[in-house]
Amino acid sequence: MATMETRIKIPRRYVIVLLTFVCTNVCYIERVGFSIAYTAAADAAGVSQASKGLILSAFFYGYAVSQVPGGWAAQLVGGRRVLLFSFLLWSVVCAVFPLNPARPAILASARLLVGVAQGFIFPSIHTVLSQWVPPHERSRSVSLTMSGMYLGAASGMLALPALVKLRGPQSVFMVEASLGGLWTLLWLRFASDASSTSHALPLSKLKNEGGIPWRRIFLSPAIWAIIVNNFTFHYALYVLMNWLPTYFEQGLEVSLQDMGWSKMLPFFTMFVFSNVGGWIADFLITRRLANITKTRKLLNTTGFVAAAAALAVLPAFRSAGGAVACSSVALGLLALGRAGFAVNHLDVAPRYAGVVMGVSNTAGTMAGIVGVGLTGAILEAAKAAGREIAGAQAWKPVFYVPGWLCLFSAVFFLIYSTGERIFD
């Protein structure tokens, strides 16, 4: 009897989306991993909270300056190539530079360089997705890709503290470099530029579209709605990502190693709600239950307002379980809101999605610089005023600031955002 070989052909755009999901996953394992490894090494060396904040924020200075150039480069030579270059660069830096709190200049320089390399990633991803993903799959594809960040953060929070305890902080760098190298090989093997038969403009046509309309981008209220919400989202995310380990260890006096799986819950919740938001958005739009504008506003407002409430009550919980639950609600609902502002780049400017993402993500990066550094200063000021870091009073401003920003940003997006295409 003859046998018949059946081969299932997976659409190339699904492969691209899956690889970009893994990409963001690995990037955030790196970011959380540095925070965990450096916190352990810095605490052992007696580094002050203010100095710790400066080192943790060094990444964001490099990340900020490369966002717009990353979008421009992706527009010019293709997101696939720029993404490959960025992964090679930060992986090599992780493999080469030592983690030594006694040499802060070298450590800050390494983090700055990693920031520059990773600054190219998200504008490049948006350029790639704008070429491959059709409009009716836009929300869930972008949400899945971005949810890799949160799964990476959750995985890092779960596994890396144990790795630090068993093998030391430097081992985290080697694991991260290995993951970066492995993803680079996968991208080389399976990724390609969009062809003329894909759902969006091929690279060759994008190159001939003419100049980037910078003036219109910076004068558009709809673009500013994205920028403002990107800033607020990343202010809350980066503060919690970089300072939750310190909050658990010193604010609540609970060891990360003793928390088990619960320490990953805030970021795993983000992974779940990011994808839920994407599927809800595409469902509402494709079933014509709401237009794109109403859908984006609904999800953005719901996520940001609810997150503000959770951040306001977070310092009232003085147990690890309560803090984990409350931070999970806050971050999960912020991730739901990404189906509003974060996908909106592709709604209003699909041909310049990488550039617009570079502009808005620069604002998000500035939020990291401000938020991470300011948090260290807030805690040092609390100590100087006689308030112990283990007390709730010292941490209230840390969580109240992003809470108020969430409320402001939700209102701003309601007034000025649109789901209509505004750039031809």
* pLDDT band, very low/low/confident/very high, at 82 (cuts 50, 70, 90): very high
Q: Stretch 212-234: mean pLDDT, rounded? A: 92
DSSP state, 420?
S
Cβ-count burial 291-310 (b if 16+ within 10 Å, e if not): ebeebbbbbbbbbbbbbbbb
Judged against a pLDDT cut of 70, whether residue 210 lies above it is answered with: no
Q: Stretch 171-178: mean pLDDT, rounded? A: 89
Q: Stretch 61-67: mean pLDDT, rounded? A: 87
Q: What is the model's pLDDT at position 280?
A: 94
- Amino acid code (one letter) for 337: G
Is residue 270 within 8 Å of residue 334, measured between CB atoms? Answer: yes
For tokens 């920031």, the residue is 115
Structural domain boundaries of the chain? Answer: 12-192+213-416
Q: Which residues have a Cβ under 8 Å from the Cβ of 3 and sit 6 or more positions away?
A: none
Is residue 378 within 8 Å of residue 371, measured between CB atoms? Answer: no
Judged against a pLDDT cut of 50, whether residue 330 lies above it is answered with: yes
Judged against a pLDDT cut of 90, whether residue 19 lies above it is answered with: yes
pLDDT in tens, 289-300: 999 999 999 999
pLDDT in tens, 273-325: 999 999 999 999 999 999 999 999 999 999 999 999 999 998 888 887 888 88
Mean pLDDT across the chain, nearest whole number?
Answer: 84
Say how far apart CA 38 and CA 31 lie, in whole Å. 11
Judged against a pLDDT cut of 60, whether residue 227 lies above it is answered with: yes
* pLDDT band, very low/low/confident/very high, at 7 (cuts 50, 70, 90): low
Q: Stretch 7-21: mean pLDDT, rounded? A: 83
Identify the CATH number of the domain defined by range 12-192+213-416.
1.20.1250.20
Q: Which of 139, 145, 95 is nearest to 125 (CA)?
A: 145
Judged against a pLDDT cut of 50, whether residue 106 lies above it is answered with: yes
* pLDDT band, very low/low/confident/very high, at 126 (cuts 50, 70, 90): confident
Judged against a pLDDT cut of 90, whether residue 230 lies above it is answered with: yes
Q: Stretch 390-405: mean pLDDT, rounded? A: 84
pLDDT in tens, 345-356: 888 988 887 788
Q: Can you read off the two tokens belonging to residue 281?
A: 């958005």
